[in-house]
Amino acid sequence: MQEKLEVIGPDSRHLGALCNYCAEELAQGDECVECPRCHKVHHADCWKAKGGCATRGCPQVAQVVIGEKPKGDGPPPPLPKWYFAAGAVLIIAIILISVYWPKPPDPAAGRAKIVVMDTLTYESNTILTEAVEEFNESSTTTYIDLQLLPSMGMDQKLIVLIAAGDAPDIFSVDDQRFEYLQSQGVLLELGKTPDGEPIYGVQHPGSLNKLVIWGDTAHPEIAREVLDFLLETIPQVDHERLRELREQQSLLPGALFGF
| Residues 209-250: tens digit of each pLDDT | 999 999 999 999 999 999 999 999 998 888 898 888 878 877
Report the range of poorest mean pLDDT among 59-73, 127-141, 153-167, 238-252: 59-73
Separation CA 172–CA 201 (nearest Å)? 9
More confident residue, 256 or 194: 194
Buried b (16+ CB within 10 A) or exposed e, 216-240: ebebeebbbebbebbeebbeeeeee
**Contact assessment for residue 50 and residue 24, using Cβ atoms and an 8 Å cutoff:** no
37-61 mean pLDDT: 89
Report the range of poorest mean pLDDT among 32-46, 84-98, 116-130: 84-98
Q: Say yes or no to pLDDT of 47 above 80.
A: yes
Q: Say yes or no to pLDDT of 252 above 70.
A: no
Contacts of 150 (CB under 8 A, 6+ apart): 119, 120
Percent of the chain with pLDDT over 90: 52
What is the per-residue pLDDT for 113? 97
Q: Say yes or no to pLDDT of 256 above 50.
A: no
What is the per-residue pLDDT for 89? 85
Separation CA 211–CA 49 (nearest Å)? 88
Task: Report which listed range, 78-87, 151-160, 174-183, 244-253, is most confident.
Answer: 174-183
Separation CA 120–CA 223 (nearest Å)? 21
**Band of residue 22 on the pLDDT scale cut at 50, 70, 90:** very high
What is the per-residue pLDDT for 67? 59
Q: Which DSSP string do the residues of 90-143 spell out, in sequence order?
A: HHHHHHHHHHHSPPPPPTTTTSEEEEEEEE--HHIIIIIHHHHHHHHHH-SSEE
Domains of the chain listed by start with CATH number: 1-69 (3.30.40), 112-253 (3.40.190.10)
More confident residue, 220 or 256: 220
What is the per-residue pLDDT for 84? 79
More confident residue, 48 or 246: 48
What is the per-residue pLDDT for 135? 97
What is the per-residue pLDDT for 253? 61
Q: Say yes or no to pLDDT of 190 above 70.
A: yes
**Contact assessment for residue 14 and residue 47, using Cβ atoms and an 8 Å cutoff:** no
How far are the Cα atoms of 27, 130, 230 from residue 123, in angstroms, in the given order? 105, 10, 13
More confident residue, 218 or 97: 218
What is the per-residue pLDDT for 215? 96
Percent of the chain with pLDDT over 70: 90
